Amino acid sequence: GRFGIKSLVQNISVLLAQLIEANLPKLRERVETELRSCINSLSQLPPLPQVDNPMTSILLMITEFLREIDRASVGDMHKTLAQACRERYTGLRDDILATCPQFRPRKPDDDDDDNIYDIAAVRQLIKDCTGWELPKFIPYEVVTTLIELFLQGWESPTEACFEDIYGEFSSFIDRLADDHFGNYRNLKQFVSTHTRAELEKTKNESEKAVRKLLSIEENKPFFSQRTDFENDQDKRMRDYHSIFYPYYQNYNDVREELYVMATVRTYFQYAYERFSDSMLRMVEHDLVQSLKDRLEVTLLDNVMQFRHRGGEGHLLAEDPNIARARKELTIRRDRLIEIRSRLEEFSMP
Protein backbone atom coordinates (compact mmCIF):
# COMPACT_ATOMS: atom_id res chain seq x y z
CA GLY A 1 0.00 0.00 0.00
CA ARG A 2 2.78 2.47 0.84
CA PHE A 3 4.35 2.08 -2.58
CA GLY A 4 1.04 2.74 -4.29
CA ILE A 5 0.45 6.05 -2.43
CA LYS A 6 3.97 7.24 -3.15
CA SER A 7 3.54 6.51 -6.83
CA LEU A 8 0.19 8.35 -6.83
CA VAL A 9 1.71 11.43 -5.19
CA GLN A 10 4.55 11.47 -7.69
CA ASN A 11 2.13 11.19 -10.59
CA ILE A 12 -0.11 13.97 -9.22
CA SER A 13 2.91 16.22 -8.64
CA VAL A 14 4.01 15.72 -12.21
CA LEU A 15 0.50 16.45 -13.46
CA LEU A 16 0.22 19.59 -11.32
CA ALA A 17 3.60 20.81 -12.50
CA GLN A 18 2.60 20.20 -16.11
CA LEU A 19 -0.75 21.96 -15.53
CA ILE A 20 0.88 24.99 -13.92
CA GLU A 21 3.53 25.17 -16.62
CA ALA A 22 0.89 25.00 -19.34
CA ASN A 23 -1.05 27.86 -17.76
CA LEU A 24 1.94 30.03 -16.90
CA PRO A 25 1.60 32.31 -19.97
CA LYS A 26 -2.05 32.99 -19.16
CA LEU A 27 -1.27 33.55 -15.49
CA ARG A 28 1.56 35.94 -16.30
CA GLU A 29 -0.64 37.80 -18.79
CA ARG A 30 -3.44 38.14 -16.26
CA VAL A 31 -1.07 39.35 -13.55
CA GLU A 32 0.44 41.91 -15.94
CA THR A 33 -3.03 43.14 -16.90
CA GLU A 34 -4.11 43.48 -13.28
CA LEU A 35 -0.84 45.19 -12.37
CA ARG A 36 -1.15 47.74 -15.20
CA SER A 37 -4.73 48.46 -14.16
CA CYS A 38 -3.67 48.93 -10.54
CA ILE A 39 -0.78 51.24 -11.44
CA ASN A 40 -3.06 53.24 -13.73
CA SER A 41 -5.63 53.64 -10.94
CA LEU A 42 -2.90 54.87 -8.62
CA SER A 43 -1.75 57.41 -11.19
CA GLN A 44 -5.30 58.76 -11.46
CA LEU A 45 -5.35 59.66 -7.79
CA PRO A 46 -4.40 63.23 -6.80
CA PRO A 47 -0.73 63.64 -5.90
CA LEU A 48 0.17 63.25 -2.27
CA PRO A 49 0.00 66.55 -0.37
CA GLN A 50 3.34 68.31 0.01
CA VAL A 51 3.77 68.79 3.73
CA ASP A 52 7.34 70.13 3.76
CA ASN A 53 6.02 73.70 3.89
CA PRO A 54 2.22 73.55 4.23
CA MET A 55 1.71 77.30 4.72
CA THR A 56 3.54 78.12 1.49
CA SER A 57 1.47 75.56 -0.40
CA ILE A 58 -1.78 76.92 1.05
CA LEU A 59 -0.92 80.54 0.25
CA LEU A 60 0.09 79.66 -3.31
CA MET A 61 -3.18 77.82 -3.92
CA ILE A 62 -5.29 80.62 -2.44
CA THR A 63 -3.39 83.25 -4.44
CA GLU A 64 -3.97 81.36 -7.68
CA PHE A 65 -7.66 80.89 -6.79
CA LEU A 66 -8.05 84.63 -6.18
CA ARG A 67 -6.16 85.47 -9.36
CA GLU A 68 -8.57 83.41 -11.44
CA ILE A 69 -11.57 85.04 -9.75
CA ASP A 70 -10.11 88.46 -10.52
CA ARG A 71 -9.45 87.69 -14.17
CA ALA A 72 -12.78 85.94 -14.66
CA SER A 73 -14.64 88.91 -13.17
CA VAL A 74 -13.43 91.15 -16.01
CA GLY A 75 -13.71 88.50 -18.72
CA ASP A 76 -9.99 87.76 -19.16
CA MET A 77 -10.41 84.11 -18.12
CA HIS A 78 -13.30 81.64 -17.97
CA LYS A 79 -15.16 83.65 -20.58
CA THR A 80 -18.21 81.40 -20.25
CA LEU A 81 -19.04 83.34 -17.07
CA ALA A 82 -19.07 86.66 -18.92
CA GLN A 83 -20.99 85.09 -21.80
CA ALA A 84 -23.68 83.69 -19.51
CA CYS A 85 -24.03 87.01 -17.66
CA ARG A 86 -24.21 88.99 -20.91
CA GLU A 87 -26.96 86.73 -22.14
CA ARG A 88 -28.93 87.25 -18.94
CA TYR A 89 -28.50 91.03 -19.06
CA THR A 90 -29.75 90.95 -22.64
CA GLY A 91 -32.79 89.08 -21.37
CA LEU A 92 -33.41 91.81 -18.79
CA ARG A 93 -33.08 94.48 -21.46
CA ASP A 94 -35.69 92.68 -23.55
CA ASP A 95 -37.98 92.31 -20.53
CA ILE A 96 -37.72 96.04 -19.78
CA LEU A 97 -38.32 96.90 -23.43
CA ALA A 98 -41.49 94.81 -23.32
CA THR A 99 -42.95 97.28 -20.79
CA CYS A 100 -42.77 100.12 -23.32
CA PRO A 101 -46.21 101.75 -23.72
CA GLN A 102 -47.72 101.04 -27.13
CA PHE A 103 -49.37 104.11 -28.61
CA ARG A 104 -51.83 103.31 -31.38
CA PRO A 105 -54.42 105.33 -33.34
CA ARG A 106 -57.15 103.07 -32.09
CA LYS A 107 -57.30 100.08 -29.77
CA PRO A 108 -59.26 97.05 -30.99
CA ASP A 109 -62.34 96.34 -28.91
CA ASP A 110 -61.22 92.76 -28.22
CA ASP A 111 -57.69 93.76 -27.11
CA ASP A 112 -57.35 93.74 -23.31
CA ASP A 113 -53.63 94.66 -23.24
CA ASP A 114 -53.24 97.34 -20.55
CA ASN A 115 -50.04 98.54 -22.19
CA ILE A 116 -51.79 99.79 -25.34
CA TYR A 117 -53.02 103.39 -25.40
CA ASP A 118 -54.99 104.99 -28.22
CA ILE A 119 -55.99 108.60 -28.73
CA ALA A 120 -59.19 108.11 -26.76
CA ALA A 121 -57.35 106.66 -23.75
CA VAL A 122 -54.78 109.47 -23.64
CA ARG A 123 -57.51 112.06 -24.13
CA GLN A 124 -59.43 110.60 -21.19
CA LEU A 125 -56.31 110.65 -19.03
CA ILE A 126 -55.75 114.32 -19.87
CA LYS A 127 -59.32 115.02 -18.85
CA ASP A 128 -58.98 113.04 -15.61
CA CYS A 129 -55.80 114.91 -14.62
CA THR A 130 -57.05 118.41 -15.47
CA GLY A 131 -58.02 120.71 -12.61
CA TRP A 132 -57.81 124.51 -12.81
CA GLU A 133 -55.13 124.53 -15.49
CA LEU A 134 -55.41 127.21 -18.13
CA PRO A 135 -56.93 126.16 -21.47
CA LYS A 136 -54.66 124.07 -23.71
CA PHE A 137 -52.31 123.47 -20.79
CA ILE A 138 -51.51 119.74 -20.41
CA PRO A 139 -51.09 118.75 -16.74
CA TYR A 140 -47.64 117.26 -16.02
CA GLU A 141 -49.50 114.55 -14.11
CA VAL A 142 -50.57 113.01 -17.43
CA VAL A 143 -46.96 112.28 -18.36
CA THR A 144 -45.91 111.13 -14.89
CA THR A 145 -48.92 108.81 -14.64
CA LEU A 146 -47.96 107.00 -17.84
CA ILE A 147 -44.30 106.84 -16.76
CA GLU A 148 -45.26 105.37 -13.38
CA LEU A 149 -47.40 102.76 -15.10
CA PHE A 150 -44.60 101.36 -17.26
CA LEU A 151 -42.10 101.53 -14.38
CA GLN A 152 -44.32 99.17 -12.38
CA GLY A 153 -43.23 96.39 -14.73
CA TRP A 154 -39.51 96.78 -14.06
CA GLU A 155 -39.16 95.40 -10.55
CA SER A 156 -39.99 91.73 -11.17
CA PRO A 157 -37.67 91.14 -14.18
CA THR A 158 -34.90 93.12 -12.47
CA GLU A 159 -35.05 90.98 -9.32
CA ALA A 160 -35.16 87.80 -11.42
CA CYS A 161 -32.11 88.94 -13.39
CA PHE A 162 -30.17 89.71 -10.22
CA GLU A 163 -30.94 86.29 -8.75
CA ASP A 164 -29.87 84.58 -11.97
CA ILE A 165 -26.60 86.52 -12.14
CA TYR A 166 -25.89 85.70 -8.50
CA GLY A 167 -26.67 82.03 -9.10
CA GLU A 168 -24.40 81.91 -12.15
CA PHE A 169 -21.54 83.62 -10.33
CA SER A 170 -21.99 81.54 -7.17
CA SER A 171 -21.95 78.29 -9.16
CA PHE A 172 -18.83 79.42 -10.99
CA ILE A 173 -17.05 80.15 -7.70
CA ASP A 174 -18.04 76.71 -6.38
CA ARG A 175 -16.61 75.01 -9.48
CA LEU A 176 -13.43 77.06 -9.27
CA ALA A 177 -12.97 76.18 -5.60
CA ASP A 178 -13.41 72.51 -6.44
CA ASP A 179 -10.78 72.77 -9.20
CA HIS A 180 -8.24 74.38 -6.89
CA PHE A 181 -8.91 72.65 -3.58
CA GLY A 182 -10.84 69.49 -4.46
CA ASN A 183 -7.89 67.27 -3.50
CA TYR A 184 -7.82 68.68 0.02
CA ARG A 185 -11.16 68.23 1.68
CA ASN A 186 -10.38 70.29 4.78
CA LEU A 187 -8.89 73.17 2.82
CA LYS A 188 -11.80 73.16 0.38
CA GLN A 189 -14.28 73.25 3.25
CA PHE A 190 -12.33 76.12 4.82
CA VAL A 191 -12.28 78.14 1.58
CA SER A 192 -15.89 77.34 0.69
CA THR A 193 -17.16 78.37 4.12
CA HIS A 194 -15.53 81.80 3.97
CA THR A 195 -16.33 82.24 0.28
CA ARG A 196 -20.00 81.50 0.90
CA ALA A 197 -20.09 84.02 3.75
CA GLU A 198 -18.51 86.76 1.60
CA LEU A 199 -20.81 85.94 -1.31
CA GLU A 200 -23.83 86.38 0.93
CA LYS A 201 -22.52 89.73 2.14
CA THR A 202 -21.89 90.99 -1.38
CA LYS A 203 -25.28 89.69 -2.45
CA ASN A 204 -27.08 91.57 0.31
CA GLU A 205 -25.21 94.79 -0.41
CA SER A 206 -25.69 94.48 -4.17
CA GLU A 207 -29.37 93.70 -3.71
CA LYS A 208 -29.78 96.94 -1.77
CA ALA A 209 -28.03 98.80 -4.57
CA VAL A 210 -30.38 97.24 -7.14
CA ARG A 211 -33.40 98.33 -5.13
CA LYS A 212 -31.94 101.82 -4.84
CA LEU A 213 -31.44 101.92 -8.60
CA LEU A 214 -35.07 100.93 -9.10
CA SER A 215 -36.17 103.50 -6.55
CA ILE A 216 -34.28 106.25 -8.37
CA GLU A 217 -36.10 105.39 -11.59
CA GLU A 218 -39.49 105.00 -9.93
CA ASN A 219 -39.49 108.24 -7.95
CA LYS A 220 -39.88 111.80 -9.14
CA PRO A 221 -38.56 113.92 -10.59
CA PHE A 222 -38.67 112.18 -13.97
CA PHE A 223 -36.02 114.17 -15.74
CA SER A 224 -33.29 113.89 -18.33
CA GLN A 225 -30.39 116.17 -19.15
CA ARG A 226 -30.02 114.64 -22.57
CA THR A 227 -29.54 117.55 -24.96
CA ASP A 228 -31.26 115.63 -27.74
CA PHE A 229 -34.48 115.06 -25.80
CA GLU A 230 -36.43 117.80 -27.59
CA ASN A 231 -35.20 116.70 -31.01
CA ASP A 232 -36.21 113.10 -30.34
CA GLN A 233 -39.52 114.26 -28.89
CA ASP A 234 -40.29 116.32 -32.02
CA LYS A 235 -39.26 113.43 -34.27
CA ARG A 236 -41.61 111.06 -32.48
CA MET A 237 -44.45 113.57 -32.76
CA ARG A 238 -43.91 113.70 -36.52
CA ASP A 239 -43.75 109.92 -36.68
CA TYR A 240 -46.95 109.52 -34.69
CA HIS A 241 -48.70 112.16 -36.79
CA SER A 242 -47.81 110.35 -40.02
CA ILE A 243 -49.01 107.04 -38.58
CA PHE A 244 -52.22 108.49 -37.15
CA TYR A 245 -52.98 110.75 -40.16
CA PRO A 246 -55.36 108.30 -41.90
CA TYR A 247 -57.45 108.28 -38.72
CA TYR A 248 -57.06 111.90 -37.58
CA GLN A 249 -56.31 114.20 -40.49
CA ASN A 250 -56.68 117.42 -38.51
CA TYR A 251 -53.44 117.71 -36.53
CA ASN A 252 -54.86 120.25 -34.11
CA ASP A 253 -57.53 117.78 -33.02
CA VAL A 254 -54.91 115.37 -31.63
CA ARG A 255 -51.93 117.64 -30.97
CA GLU A 256 -52.14 117.36 -27.19
CA GLU A 257 -52.49 113.58 -27.27
CA LEU A 258 -49.57 113.21 -29.69
CA TYR A 259 -47.45 115.47 -27.51
CA VAL A 260 -48.10 113.25 -24.47
CA MET A 261 -47.36 110.10 -26.46
CA ALA A 262 -44.13 111.48 -27.92
CA THR A 263 -42.94 112.77 -24.54
CA VAL A 264 -43.60 109.50 -22.71
CA ARG A 265 -42.13 107.36 -25.50
CA THR A 266 -38.97 109.49 -25.65
CA TYR A 267 -38.53 109.36 -21.89
CA PHE A 268 -39.04 105.59 -21.90
CA GLN A 269 -36.27 105.14 -24.47
CA TYR A 270 -33.79 107.11 -22.38
CA ALA A 271 -34.82 105.53 -19.08
CA TYR A 272 -34.77 102.00 -20.53
CA GLU A 273 -31.28 102.40 -21.97
CA ARG A 274 -30.00 104.15 -18.85
CA PHE A 275 -31.37 101.55 -16.47
CA SER A 276 -30.25 98.53 -18.52
CA ASP A 277 -26.67 99.81 -18.63
CA SER A 278 -26.63 100.99 -15.01
CA MET A 279 -27.97 97.66 -13.77
CA LEU A 280 -25.28 95.72 -15.65
CA ARG A 281 -22.38 97.91 -14.56
CA MET A 282 -23.52 98.16 -10.95
CA VAL A 283 -24.08 94.43 -10.43
CA GLU A 284 -20.81 93.54 -12.13
CA HIS A 285 -18.96 96.09 -9.99
CA ASP A 286 -20.68 95.49 -6.65
CA LEU A 287 -21.27 91.74 -6.84
CA VAL A 288 -18.79 90.14 -9.24
CA GLN A 289 -15.71 92.35 -9.27
CA SER A 290 -15.70 93.20 -5.58
CA LEU A 291 -15.54 89.59 -4.35
CA LYS A 292 -11.84 89.04 -5.01
CA ASP A 293 -10.62 91.88 -2.76
CA ARG A 294 -13.02 91.01 0.03
CA LEU A 295 -12.20 87.32 -0.18
CA GLU A 296 -8.47 87.99 -0.17
CA VAL A 297 -8.70 89.77 3.18
CA THR A 298 -10.96 87.11 4.72
CA LEU A 299 -9.04 84.04 3.54
CA LEU A 300 -5.57 85.31 4.36
CA ASP A 301 -6.65 86.58 7.77
CA ASN A 302 -8.23 83.25 8.70
CA VAL A 303 -5.32 81.23 7.30
CA MET A 304 -2.98 83.16 9.56
CA GLN A 305 -5.20 82.34 12.51
CA PHE A 306 -4.83 78.65 11.61
CA ARG A 307 -1.08 79.10 11.45
CA HIS A 308 -0.94 80.65 14.92
CA ARG A 309 -2.79 77.60 16.22
CA GLY A 310 -0.47 75.27 14.31
CA GLY A 311 -3.35 73.89 12.28
CA GLU A 312 -2.14 74.54 8.73
CA GLY A 313 -1.15 70.87 8.36
CA HIS A 314 -4.76 69.90 9.01
CA LEU A 315 -5.88 71.96 6.03
CA LEU A 316 -3.65 69.93 3.69
CA ALA A 317 -4.59 66.53 5.09
CA GLU A 318 -5.59 64.13 2.34
CA ASP A 319 -9.24 63.24 1.90
CA PRO A 320 -9.83 60.02 3.93
CA ASN A 321 -11.56 58.36 0.97
CA ILE A 322 -8.62 59.09 -1.31
CA ALA A 323 -6.14 57.97 1.37
CA ARG A 324 -8.06 54.71 1.80
CA ALA A 325 -8.11 54.07 -1.94
CA ARG A 326 -4.39 54.85 -2.20
CA LYS A 327 -3.57 52.40 0.59
CA GLU A 328 -5.68 49.58 -0.91
CA LEU A 329 -4.24 50.09 -4.39
CA THR A 330 -0.67 50.23 -3.05
CA ILE A 331 -1.12 46.95 -1.16
CA ARG A 332 -2.63 45.32 -4.25
CA ARG A 333 0.16 46.61 -6.47
CA ASP A 334 2.85 45.24 -4.14
CA ARG A 335 1.16 41.82 -4.00
CA LEU A 336 0.87 41.65 -7.78
CA ILE A 337 4.55 42.55 -8.15
CA GLU A 338 5.44 39.76 -5.73
CA ILE A 339 3.25 37.27 -7.61
CA ARG A 340 4.84 38.29 -10.91
CA SER A 341 8.30 37.77 -9.41
CA ARG A 342 7.40 34.28 -8.17
CA LEU A 343 5.93 33.31 -11.52
CA GLU A 344 9.15 34.39 -13.19
CA GLU A 345 11.17 32.28 -10.73
CA PHE A 346 8.92 29.29 -11.31
CA SER A 347 9.38 29.44 -15.06
CA MET A 348 13.18 29.55 -14.82
CA PRO A 349 14.93 26.22 -15.72
| Domain 65-317: which CATH number of 1.20.120.1240, 1.10.10.10, 3.10.110.10, 2.60.120.10 | 1.20.120.1240
pTM of the prediction? 0.80
Q: Is 117 helix (H, G, I), strand (E, B) or coil?
A: strand
pLDDT in tens, 24-35: 788 888 888 999
* Residue 288: predicted pLDDT: 94
| Structure confidence at residue 307 (pLDDT) | 78
Of the candidates 76, 66, 284, the residue with the CA atom closest to the CA atom of residue 177: 66
Question: 133: Cβ–Cβ under 8 A, 6 or more apart, which residues?
Answer: 139
- For all residues of the chain together, what is the average pLDDT? 89
By the 8 A CB rule, do 133 and 268 touch?
Answer: no
Query: How far is 86 from 210, CA to CA, in rounded Å?
Result: 17
The CB-based long-range contact list for 154-159 (8 Å cut-off, 24+ gap) reads 154/96, 154/99, 154/214, 154/217, 154/218, 154/275, 155/214, 157/92, 157/95, 157/96, 158/92, 158/96, 158/210, 158/214, 158/279, 159/210
The per-residue pLDDT for range 187-218, each reduced to its tens digit, is 999 999 999 999 999 999 999 999 999 999 99
Cβ-proximal residues to 125 (8 Å cutoff; 6+ apart), any chain: 142, 145, 146, 260
pLDDT digits over 59-107, tens only?
Answer: 999 999 999 999 999 999 999 999 999 999 999 999 999 999 999 988 7
Q: pLDDT band at 161, cuts 50/70/90?
A: very high
Interval 131-148 mean pLDDT = 94
